[in-house]
Amino acid sequence: MRFNERDIDRIIEMAWEDRTPFEAITYQFSIPEQEVIKLMRREMKPSSFKMWRQRVQGRATKHQKLRTFEQGRFKCSRQKQITHNSISKR
């Protein structure tokens, strides 16, 4: 499958994110985990690819089946609600 540069950048970004499972990449781009790995190997420097592989191998948050939590997206406890944003009150 051919991807444009913007799609490749987004796939790499999603693959680097700890809380984005490979299933989300597959859902959005119709590319299985093994193809993501091949894309990362092709697009990254060897040292960066090696570091990424060490990080994601066996990581529960990168695989939907291994996740232990049922919540949706992660939100930092310090992040304010949009309704409390001073810009929205103007």
| Confidence class for position 44, pLDDT limits 50, 70, 90 | very high
| Confidence class for position 2, pLDDT limits 50, 70, 90 | confident
The mean per-residue pLDDT over the stretch 45-51 comes to 93
Is 68 a residue whose pLDDT tops 60? no
Q: What's the 3-state SS for the chain?
A: CCCCHHHHHHHHHHHHCCCCCHHHHHHHHCCCHHHHHHHHHHHCCHHHHHHHHHHHCCCHHHCHHHCCCCCCCCCCCCCCCHHHCCCCCC
Is 78 a residue whose pLDDT tops 80? no
pTM: 0.66
The mean per-residue pLDDT over the stretch 45-52 comes to 93
pLDDT in tens, 13-25: 999 888 888 888 9
| Confidence class for position 88, pLDDT limits 50, 70, 90 | very low
